[in-house]
Amino acid sequence: MGTKCDALIIGGSAGSLDVLLKVLPSLDPALSFPIVIVVHRKHGTDSLLPELLSGRTKLLVKEIDEKEPLSAGNIYIAPSDYHTLIEQDHTFSLDYSEKINYSRPAIDATFQTAAEVYKEKLVCLLLSGSNADGVNGLKSVKVWGGTTVIQDPATAQVSYMPEQASLHAKIDHTLRIEHMAEFINLLS
């Protein structure tokens, strides 16, 4: 498909963990770009998610620390109860401002800041979920020339989020779960 990718951001809410658990084991362990995962989860319940996901892949999985640089081949998990933003110097910053779409982390915040940084070399993938977080973010991604991808709503446990995205933003690719890993590997 010829897309050159400098970063892949995956956003999801209800029903997205299952997708991640299915996709991660098939990822190429030598990816040439970082993956950032922003999923809604309850605050206070720990950092189980990085642990859970790191059992499924050879890529390094870690929760984001503020000011940490993004490095190729790593999978970064947005911490709960903060917004994850991406800076022009390709580092993360965290932000405890108002919830957006009732969510913190908000997928929109990460998509939007990444859109301006990586422009046409950004790929954003929105998974299953029950609210419309991420939709405005995908619009920004298009404004800056990036690639927008959604989970095929027919394969989503909760189809609302990818459906809203397809209604309100221009979507470049709609993927079934079993095609996601191959798609991601080909971005490398």
Partner 1 sequence: MNLELPTISDGQVEILLSDLLEHYGYDFTGYSKASIKRRILRLYSLDKALSFAEFRYRINNDTFYFKRFVEQITVNVTEMFRDPGFFKTLRDVVLPKLGTYPFIRIWLAGCSTGEEAYSISIILKELNLLHKSLVYATDLNPIVLEKASQGMFAMSQMKQYSENYILSGGTNDFSSYYTANYSLAKFNDELKSKLIFSTHNLVSDHSFNEFQLILCRNVLIYFDRDLQHKVLTLFDDSLEGLGYLALGTKETLDFSPISPNYKRIPGEKIWRKIG
Active site residues: 13, 40, 133
Binding residues (CB under 8 A) for partner 1: these are 44, 65-67, 79, 81-82, 85-88, 93-98, 100, 108-109, 112-113, 116, 136, 139-140, 143-144
Q: Which residues contact 18 (CB under 8 A, 6 or more apart)?
A: 128, 157
For residue 172, the tally of other CB atoms under 10 A from its CB is: 17
How remote is the C-alpha of 34 from its chain's centroid?
Answer: 11
Nearest residue (CB) to partner 1, 31 versus 77: 77
Nearest residue (CB) to partner 1, 81 versus 152: 81
Beta carbon of residue 85, minimum distance to partner 1 (angstroms, whole number): 4
Beta carbon of residue 90, minimum distance to partner 1 (angstroms, whole number): 11
Nearest residue (CB) to partner 1, 20 versus 117: 117
Question: DSSP readout, 80-128?
Answer: TTSEEEE-TTSBEEEE----BTTBSS-HHHHHHHHHHHHGGGEEEEE--
Alpha-carbon distance of 122 to 136, in angstroms, equals 15
Q: Which residues contact 4 (CB under 8 A, 6 or more apart)?
A: 121
Beta carbon of residue 174, minimum distance to partner 1 (angstroms, whole number): 21
